[in-house]
Amino acid sequence: MRESQTAAVVAHPLPRPSTLGFVTRLVTQLVTPKAMLDIDAIERAAYEIMFRAAIDIPDDYRKGVEAMIAREEGMLSAFVLEAMLENWQAASEDRRPMCADSGLPRFFVKVGNDALGALAAAGGFIALEEALRRATARATHDIPLRPNRVHPLSRKDNNNNVGVGAPEIDYSFEPGADWIDITTVHKGGLFGTDYRMLFPGDGIDGIKRFFLDVLLAFGKRGLACQPAIVGIGIGGSKDTCMVLGKQAACLRPVGSRHPDPEVASLEDELRELGNRTGLGAMGFEGSATVVDCMIEIGYTHTGGMPVSMHCFCLSSRRATARVAADGGISYRTDPQWFTPYLRREGIAWAGAEVGAAANEMTIANDGAAVDRTTGTADGRVVDETTGATAGESATEPRARARSRAASGSGR
């Protein structure tokens, strides 16, 4: 009996070290999530979009201003619009912020529902927020941005745009997606924003009156830094109404329209109304006040109709990065924030196929399908920090940007 046991031991020796390593790796693969979001990739992405938002005007806003120049009859207003285009080009060529007041940097984070497990394995929302705060501090120093954030009473300034409640981070979620979208917006924080509690009896005319009151109060002194993207929030509670208006102004591209035909019609009507006040760019005589008007709605109390208004100024600074489950990063300027899921009306969500389709690709500003891992239409690998494709130096993408700006072809 002892001999057979000994034979058995000899017949099945202990695994060699290399075999142990294989088994260890196999077990690790089995117990580790297949996708693990990289917090370092999130920080790199946030750092890069801080640069892009501060320096490069989004194409949709640029094209909106170019269309206004073609029909602006006010001499000084037209001069301001032309100067804006020259300023944006100079900012892109010199890689410097487009405005001395670099606003209040903030983030909007859309998390795919299927990314939650991978995010948790990488440190969760605590690690994500730390990465965004770190990216803000680094970018403030490196771009550089003006350190606008101060304590409201003592006026203490940490010189990095980070502090209590700063930068703000808003969240939304997307079904059927395994990525995380990070959008940064550098919006001014002083003028061009207001709120009014209307009543159902005030109707559409009451909304128009409020819209004109705010536009004229700020616009005639140039305090809204127009031409602006005007965001209108209608409904919800007071805080929700304010959020809806700000997100409408900051997170929807010029030319987009709300899927509700009644809301979309009011967007068009208010934009035309805003450009018939006699005010032009920066308060000069003209017709270039509203590049576009965006409205977002929320169900509200039966007895009221709260309305908020936000002007996203002529430095409409926003940029978005998508961090895939494998750590790949792609960039764009359309945040794609207001998805069908975010605007859902019922209890259950029946549109999983929408999220699944969005998970496979994003649409670039020129309409080309972009590979969500490499960030390019042809599958080339893009360096997440410099934007260089394989075989390029880190300076070549900036040279391409300057060449496009000089030829007037945009980014």
What is the pLDDT of the chain when averaged over all its residues? 83
Q: Are the CB atoms for 139 and 133 separated by under 8 Å?
A: no
List C-alpha distances in Å: 71 to 17, 290, 314.
Answer: 77, 13, 18
**Do 119 and 228 reside in the same domain of the chain?**
no
pLDDT at 383 over 90: no
The model's confidence at residue 223, banded by pLDDT at 50, 70 and 90, is: confident
Q: Is residue 29 part of a domain?
A: no
Is residue 128 domain-shared with residue 213, that is, in the same domain? no
Domain that holds residue 359: 39-188+317-407
Using one digit for the tens of pLDDT, what is the confidence trace for 316-340?
A: 899 999 999 988 999 999 999 999 9
Residues 254 and 174 in one domain: no
User: Residues 63-116: pLDDT tens digits?
Assistant: 999 999 999 999 999 999 999 999 999 999 999 999 989 999 999 999 999 999
Q: What is the tens place of the pLDDT at every residue in 235-262? A: 999 999 999 999 999 999 999 999 999 9
Quick one: average pLDDT of 193-211?
96
Answer for the pair 267, 257: CB distance below 8 angstroms, yes or no: yes
Query: pLDDT confidence of 361, banded at 50, 70, 90?
Result: very low
Q: Is residue 16 part of a domain?
A: no
163 with 200, same domain? Answer: no
pLDDT of residue 19: 52
How many domains, in total, are found in the chain?
2
- Say yes or no: 328 and 182 in one domain: yes
Q: What pLDDT does residue 18 have?
A: 52
Residue % of the chain over a pLDDT of 90:
68
Q: What is the pLDDT of residue 221?
A: 75
CA-nearest of 191, 207, 189 to 199 is 207
Average pLDDT (360-389) is: 40
Residue pair 217/226 in contact (Cβ under 8 Å)? The answer is: no
Same-domain check for residues 176 and 47: yes
Are 141 and 244 within one domain?
no
User: Six-digit token pair at 173?
Assistant: 């979620």
* 395 and 381 belong to one structural domain: yes
